[in-house]
Chain A
Amino acid sequence: MKTNQTKGVVRLLTFLLVLSLAMGMAFAAGAKEEAAPSGPVSMTIATWTSNPDQIALLDSFVQGFAAQKGIEIDATFESIPFAEYNTKLSLELQGQNGPDLFWVLETAAPAFIESGLLANLNDGMQAYDPQDISSDALELWSKDGNVYAIPFSTSPFFILYNEDLFAKAGVKTPEQYAAEGAWDWEAFKMASKTIKEKTGVWGFQTVDGQGYDARILHNLAPIVRSYGGDFWTDDGQVLINSDASVAAVQLFHDMVYQDVSVVPPGNQSDFFAGNAAMTVGQISRVSKLNDAAFAWGIAPMPSGPEGESPVIGQAAIGAHSKGKQAALASELVAYMTNKDSVAAMSGIWPPARKSVLESEAFLTSNKSVSKEQMQNAVAASIKTGRVLPSHVKYPQIEVESKMVFDKLWQKNADVGAILDDVAAVYAKYIK
C-alpha cells in the first residue's frame, strides 16, 4: 500500500518534470517565432521626460514609422527621473529587457559609445539627408566616422524670469537689460539682490533646484565660461581652478552667501510656483508655465568679461545594439530625427538640422514664446553655444568631484582652494 503511494509520488514528480520540459520546449519554439513577428512589434523607449504631450509626440513618430514600414509597433515609453537616468538605464541595458531606443545625455556620450551599447546608425540615417545635421552637433555622438546616436535636441539654456516680481521691485527685466546690451552677470547679481531685498522673494533658483548637486555643471558652466574659464577641455587641460573660473564661482558663491538672494541648498522654493524671480531653463520647460499665476519672460544668459558663452544642453537618441530589434530600432532612430520629425519637435527641442534651425517656422514653433524671444534666447545661442564637457570616465568624475564641490556650499568656503581640490579630482581622469 505504502509502496504504491511512493510510486504515486514518483509518478507525480515525473509528470511535473515532463510537463516543465514540454513547457520549456513550447516557450523555446515561441522564442524562435519572435524572430519573424506576425503581430505588433513591441518596443521600449527610455526617456527622462514624463510630460504626456511630449510622450504623445514621440509616439506619433513611432506610429508614422510603423505605417511607412507596413508593420504595427506597440511602443512603451519608460520615463526615468533625470537624476537617476544613467544609473538605471545602464543597469537595464545590461539585463535582458533593456529599452530598444533610449535618450542619451551629452555628458555620458563618450562612455556609452565606448561601452558598445549603442548601435551604429550610419546605414539607417542615409535615407534622411544626414548632411543636413550640423557636423558640430554630431561630433560628440560619433567615433571613427561612425554615428552612434543622433541629437534630437540642441537646446540652449536661458533665463526664465517672473515679470511681476521684477516690476514689484522696480528692476528692469532681463530682456530690457539685454536690449540695452547691459545684461551681464553683475546686472544679474544686482537684480537678484534687489528683488530679494524689496520683495522678500528669492532672486534666483538654480536649474530645477539641483544646481548644487545633480546639475552643478549646468549651473556653473554659463558663468565660468563667460568669465573665460572652463571645467576641462578636450585636449586634457583642467581649467576649473584657473583665475577666471575661480572669479566666476566666487560671484555665484557671493550671491548665495553674501547677498542671500539665491535659493540655498536644501531649500525647496520653486520658480514655477512663484517663489523665485529667475531660474535657468530650456525651451522644453516653458510648458510648465502655461498655467502660471504670474507674467513671465525669457532672456539669454548674461554675458561675462569674455562676452556671451551660452551652454547648450544636448540630448541624442540611440538604439540598443544588443536589443532584440536592433536593426529596426536603428531605422526608427533615423526616422525620429528626420526633417519632418525634427520640425515637429522644434518648439520643444531645438533641432540640430540646419534646414529646420534656419527656417522661419522654427522661430514661431513654440506658441508660448514670441518670435523675438525665440531668436534672442534660443536661435542665437545655438549658433554660439557649447555643450557641457564630457569624458569616457564622466560617471567617476561626477561622483568623486561632487564630494569636493559640496565644500563650496558653506558661508566661509575658500572658493580657490576648493576648486584646486576639484581640479585634482579632474586631473586623475582627464589626460
Chain B
Amino acid sequence: MKQHSLKANHRRDAIIGWAFITPQMAGFVFFVLLPLVSVFLYSVQEKNLLFGTSVFNGLENYRLLLADPLFSNSLVNTLIFSAGVVPLNLVFSLLLALYLGGGKMGTRFVRGIIFLPVVTSGVAWAIVWKYLLQGGDAGPINWFLSLIGIEGPNWLFEKGWAMASVIVNRVMKNLGMNVLIFMGAVLNMPGDVIEAARIDGAKRFTLFFKIKLPLLMPTVMMVAIVTIIGSMRVFDTIKLMTDGGPEGSTMVMVYYIYHQAFRMFDTGFASALAVVLFLIVLVLTALQWFSRKRISFYES
C-alpha cells in the first residue's frame, strides 16, 4: 500500500515536472534541435533554395567543399579574425577589469564608456564606423591621421586593412561585456591571499602572474571559450561593414555560409559548411574544456 502511494507520488511529481518544462522543451525542440538536425540532413542533399528542389547526394557536398578554394579562404579568414579578436579582447578586458576593480578615480565613468558599445545597436555602430573609416580625406580618422602627417588607407576597401578594421571594431564593440565578467571575478578574489603575497614581498608583476592570474583562471577560461565561439560565428560586423570584401578578404565562414545559402541559393552546400563549422567549434571548445585543469589550478 505504502509502495503504491510512493509510486503515485513519484508519478505525480514527474507529471508536474514535465508540465513545467514542456513549454521550454517545445521551444528547444522546434527552434534548436529540429533546425540542427535539418542542417545535418540538408548537408547530404543537393538543395536549391530558389528552385525548392532537394535530392539526396550523399557526401558530395563535403567532397566539393574540400576542393573549394573559397572554403579554405573563409576558414583562414575565420582563424585570422579569431586570432585577432580573442587575444585583444581577453588582454584588454582583463587589464581594464583589474584597473576598474581597483576603485580608482573616474572608474565609474570609464566603466560606462566601455559598456556603451555593448548596448548600442549593431547597425548604428556599423554605420557610424563606416563613416569614420572612409578612405581619402573624407573619413574623420584619416583626417586626424593627416594632422600628424600620416596618409590613412581606404580602411574597408584595402585587403589587410579591412580585416584589421573589423577586428578592432569587433573588439571595441564587445569589450564591455567581458570587462563586466572579469570585474565580477576581480572583486571576488580573496583579499587575504593577495595581502599575504604583498607582505611576503611580491611586487606588482609577480602579484599579477603568480597570484591574481591563477585566481582568475577559471573565469579567463570561460571568457576565452565564449569569445572564441563568438568570433568563429561573427556575421553582423562583416555583413554591415565589408560584405565579405575586398576580394573576399573578410569572408569568414558564417558569412560564406550565408553567401552560399541565401545569395547563391545552394542550401545543401551551405549546410555542409555549417556542419564543418559546428565540428570545428565543438573540437576547439572540447580541447579547451578538457585542458582547463592543466591550465587552471582552481578548476573544480
Contacts and interface: CB of A to CB of B under 8 A. Distances in A.
B82 interface: no
B5 A2 contact: yes
B280 to A, nearest CB: 23
Contacts of A190: none
A266 B247 contact: no
Interface stretch (A111-119, A228-236, A278-286): A111-119
A135 interface: no
Contacts of B11: 6
Given A91-B49, A395-B263, A399-B259, A267 B245 contact: no
Interface string A291-304: 00000000000000
Q: Which of B19, B156, B157, B158 has the most CB of A within 10 A?
A: B157
Interface in B129-158: 130-131, 133-136, 138, 154-158
A269 B134 CA distance: 10
Given A115-B51, A213-B243, A406-B245, A9 B134 contact: no
Secondary structure of the A contact surface, majority rule: helix
A6 B15 contact: yes
Q: How large is the interface on A (under 10, 10 to 19, 20 to 34, 35 or more residues)?
A: 35 or more
Nearest to B12: A6
B158 A90 contact: no
Contacts of A269: 138
A266 B135 contact: yes
Interface string A183-215: 000000000000000000000000000001100
Query: Per DSSP, are chain B's interface residues mostly helix, strand or loop, or mixed?
Result: loop
Contacts of B9: 2
Task: Classify chain B: how many residues form its interface, as a range.
Answer: 35 or more
A407 interface: yes
Contacts of A112: 50
B106 interface: no
Given A5-B12, A9-B12, A268 B135 contact: no
B19 A13 contact: yes
Interface in B238-253: 243-248, 251
A409 B251 CA distance: 18
B52 A115 contact: yes
Given A2-B9, A409-B246, A265 B131 contact: no
A266 B245 contact: no
Interface string A396-409: 10110011101101
Contacts of B154: 264-266
Given A9-B15, A111-B50, A399 B134 contact: no
A94 B264 contact: no
Contacts of B52: 94, 115-117
A10 B18 CA distance: 12
A396 B264 contact: yes
B16 interface: yes
A154 B35 CA distance: 42
Contacts of B251: 403
B282 interface: no
B224 to A, nearest CB: 32
Contacts of B265: 90, 395
Contacts of B263: 86-87, 395, 398-399
B71 to A, nearest CB: 13
B245 A403 contact: yes
A91 B19 contact: no
A146 interface: no
B278 interface: no
B8 interface: yes
Nearest to A88: B262
A6 B12 CA distance: 5
Contacts of A9: 12, 15-16, 19
Contact of B157 (A268, A404, A409): A409
A407 B247 contact: yes
A267 B15 contact: no
**Minimum-distance CB pairs A-B, first 5:** A6-B12, A406-B246, A403-B248, A406-B247, A265-B157
Given A266-B156, A266-B157, A403-B251, 9 more contacts: A3-B8, A6-B15, A9-B15, A90-B50, A94-B49, A213-B243, A265-B154, A267-B134, A410-B158
Interface of B: 5, 8-9, 11-12, 15-16, 19, 49-52, 70, 130-131, 133-136, 138, 154-158, 243-248, 251, 259, 262-265
9 contacts: A9-B16, A9-B19, A90-B50, A114-B51, A115-B51, A117-B52, A265-B135, A266-B156, A403-B248
